[in-house]
Amino acid sequence: MRLHVVHETRYAYAPPVETAQHMAHLRPLERPAQQRLLGHALHITPEPVQRSESVDVYGNVRTFFALGSTHGELVVRAESLVETAAPPTFVPDTAPGTPWEAVRERFRYRKGVRDDPASEFVFPSPHVPLHDDFGAYARPSFAPGRPLFEAAMDLTLRMHRDFAYDADSTEVGTPAVQALAQRRGVCQDFAHILIGCCRAMGLPARYVSGYLLTQPPPGQPRLVGADASHAWAELYVPPAAGAPARAPGGWAGFDPTNGRQPGEDYVLLAVGRDFADVSPIRGVLHGGARHVLHVGVTVRPEDEENAG
């Protein structure tokens, strides 16, 4: 499936900003057999005096830009064309049917044993602290001997049943433990909770930012800018026992907001420990004590655009 994504962010400042430096994660990922980036452009107004791209430790392409003149508005418009496919099933070298405890044991510290790189995602992070409440909620899904995939999907479906999507119930800085307690939140909260639950069980889990193709009501046109960015979690599946030493593990996605695994209608933007690693835009400003933010996202199939 070919999807055209437009993500526009507008900041209106009062008083105006004198100088600013920003970091953006707005370039979709390349992932073999799952997602290809066919085109990407990032338009910034006013024109930055400095701009550069780099790859972070998680493989995300990030854009740094600096604004050196006074401005009352900042507009950042990212346009991307991606070709997506359903995530591949795990090959025999990976172990989705392995009991979850066996996977947990792989990430316990052992003197003289080299750590798996995914071990980083077992530890707490700024938005996902270790907390007993995550473990208490997760345990009913992780019965002794239960296969890893089965346990993770059960947790995902339980969250989908137990939690209400409520855009007014949390903010970006709302602690995940609070969203867990109130059983309400948005996709960012649910991704953080799922990650916290997996880490509480000793399993590596990471945050994924991206987009989801939403369908307009029957007979209604797709509204420009009416979509929003999305977030879900990925759980690490290590190589199967007896697999070659060079065999990599894999990351499997779980979306508690929609009670499913991601498919070809999902666009991967960036991955990290939690939202703090992949915020679409963050920055340091001189001036602009108050601001109004507007974000508009449109995800359309390419053939729909051509037909229109």
Note the pLDDT of residue 225.
47
Q: Count of residues for the chain?
A: 308
pLDDT band at 247 (very low <50, low <70, confident <90, very high): low
pLDDT higher than threshold 60 for residue 11: yes
CA distance linking residue 276 with residue 208, whole number of Å: 11
DSSP 8-state symbol, 224: T
Note the pLDDT of residue 305.
60
Note the pLDDT of residue 216.
75
CA distance linking residue 85 with residue 233, whole number of Å: 18
Note the pLDDT of residue 73.
97
pLDDT higher than threshold 50 for residue 238: yes
Note the pLDDT of residue 96.
64
Q: Report residue 156 CA to chain centroid gap.
A: 15
* pLDDT tens digits along 35-91: 999 999 999 999 999 999 999 999 999 999 999 999 999 999 999 999 999 876 665
Average pLDDT, integer, range 134-158: 95
Collapsing DSSP to helix, strand or coil, 268 comes out as: strand
CA distance linking residue 92 with residue 145, whole number of Å: 20
Residue 121 carries which side chain, given as an amino acid letter?
A: F
pTM for this prediction: 0.92
pLDDT band at 179 (very low <50, low <70, confident <90, very high): very high
Q: Which long-range contacts (CB under 8 A, 24 or more apart) does 117-121 make?
A: 118/204, 118/236, 118/238, 118/249, 119/204, 120/204, 120/273, 121/199, 121/204, 121/205, 121/206, 121/236, 121/273
